[in-house]
Structure 1
Amino acid sequence: MSSTEYVVFDLETTGLSPERDGIVEIGAMRIRDGQVQPTEIYQTLVRPTDAQGQPLSIPWYTQRVHGISDQMVRHAPTVEQVLPDFLDFVGDAAVVAHNVAFDSGFIRTAARRHGLIWQPARELCTVQLSRAAFPREKGHKLDLLAQRLGLEFEAGGRHRSLGDVRVTAEAFVQLMQRLELTRSR
C-alpha cells in the first residue's frame, strides 16, 4: 500500500434515499502509510432533518438495524452543524467506504444543501475491492468480508458507524495488500 492517506467512513441513516432521508450518525478513521490510526477518529450522532431543515423521525425498521432512536439524537447536532468538521477531518485524503456510492451520495447531497462541496480526491469501495480480491465469491457484504478476512466486530459495533468503520478499515488494508500481491505475481 502506498503512503497515501485514506479516511474510511460510514453513515447510519433514516433510510436509503439521500434526497428524502437523513444522516443519524457519522464515523470515520484515518489510515496512513498502510496503518489504521485507531486514535484518529471522527464520530458523532446527528439529529436528522429533511431538505427544508425540518426534523425527521427515525423509522422503527431502521432503528432495528442500527439501534439509533429519536431519543438518542434528540440533542445531537444537525448535519448542517457537523458537516464542516467532518469535511475538515477528511481534508484532501482519499475516502473509503463499504458501498461508497451510498455513503458518499448522502454526504454529497447534504453538502450541496448547505452550500458545501464534497469532492474527495478519490473514492474507493471495499465492495469492489472484495470482488476483485475474491472473484469466485458471490457475497461481498461487510459481515461476509469480515469473516473471510478473520475480522470481528466489537460487541454492539455492527451497524454503528464507528464499529463498521473499524472493520472496514482493517479489511481495506488487507484487501489492498492482497491485491498488490496478486498484481506483482
Structure 2
Amino acid sequence: MNVVVFDLETTGLSPERDAIVEIGALRVRDGQVVEAERFDTLVRPVNAAGDVLRIPWQAQRVHGISDSMVRDAPQLAHVLPEFLDFVGDSPVVAHNVGFDGGFMRAAARRHGLVWSPPQEYCTMQLSRRAFPGERSHKLDLLAQRLGLSFAPGGRHRSFGDVQVTAEAFVRLMERLRVGA
C-alpha cells in the first residue's frame, strides 16, 4: 500500500475557470502514513496572462484562505512540477478524487505537463463500499465513523484534510481488506 494522498483548495468548483490556492500531500508506505514525506504549500492564483486572481468570498468562507495569505506564495507554474515530482509514479488518493484529479489534469494541461497517476483511489467511494447503509460520505462523517479527528484549524485546509484522508484510507483498506 504505497500511495500519495493529496488534497487541493481552490477558488471555486470549475477546473477550467478556477485556480488552485493550496496543495497538501502525504505519502503512505506499507500501510503507514509517513508524516515526514509531505508536500504542503499555498499557491498564488494567477490567470494565463499572469494577472493575480482574487479568491472569492464564498471560497474563503470554506477554506479560510485569503488574498493576503497567498500574496507571497509561489505561482502554480513553480509549484506544479515540484508536486508532480513528489507524486512520481505513485498511485494517488483523494476524498472525491474526481474533483481534485480534475483540477490536477486541467492545471497540468495548462502548464504543458501531464497528470496521469497509474491509479486513483477515492476515499469517498471506499467509504460507500465500507459503509453501504450510510447516506452521506463527507470527509467529516467518515472521520467520525473511523474515530479520526482533524487538527485544530485543519478542516478544509489541504494538509489538515490530507492527514485525515490518509488515515481514513489506511483504515478503509484494512476494513475492506484491499491491497493497493
Q: TM-score band (shorter)? A: over 0.9
Number of residue-to-residue matches in the alignment? 178
Distance in 1 (alpha carbons) for counterparts of 2:120 and 2:51: 30
Q: Say whether the 8 Å CA contact 1:20–1:50 is kept in structure 2.
A: no
The question of whether the paired residues in 2 share the 8 Å contact of 1:96 and 1:125 is answered with yes
Q: Is the 8 A contact 1:26 1:161 kept in 2?
A: yes
Tell me the equivalent position of 1:162.
159
Tell me by how many angstroms 1:54 deviates: 2.4
* TM-score, structure 1 normalization: 0.94
The partner residue of 1:146 within 139, 143, 146 is 143
1:19-30 paired onto structure 2 within 5 Å: 19-30=16-27
Structure 1, unaligned stretches of length 5 or more?
Answer: none
Residue ranges of structure 2 left out of the alignment (5+ in a row): none
Identify which of 64, 67, 73 aligns with 1:67. Answer: 64
1:53 and 1:129 mapped to 2: Cα distance? 39
Contact 1:11 1:161 in 2 (8 A): yes
AA at the equivalent of 2:144: Q
Query: 2 CA distance for matches of 1:53 and 1:101?
Result: 27
**1:1-185 matches, cutoff 5 A:** 4-180=1-177
**Structure 1 residues 16 and 159: CA distance shift in structure 2, 3 A:** same
- Whichever residue aligns with residue 50 of structure 2, its letter is G
Q: Percent identity?
A: 71
Q: Distance in 2 between matches of 1:175 and 1:143?
A: 15
Q: Structure 2 CA distance, aligned partners of 1:59 and 1:84? A: 26
Amino acid of the structure 1 residue aligned with 2:82:
D
Letter in 2 for 1:40: E
- Give distance in 1, aligned partners of 2:169 and 2:39: 18
Q: Is the 8 A contact 1:29 1:36 kept in 2?
A: yes
| Contact preservation (8 Å) 1:50, 1:56 | yes
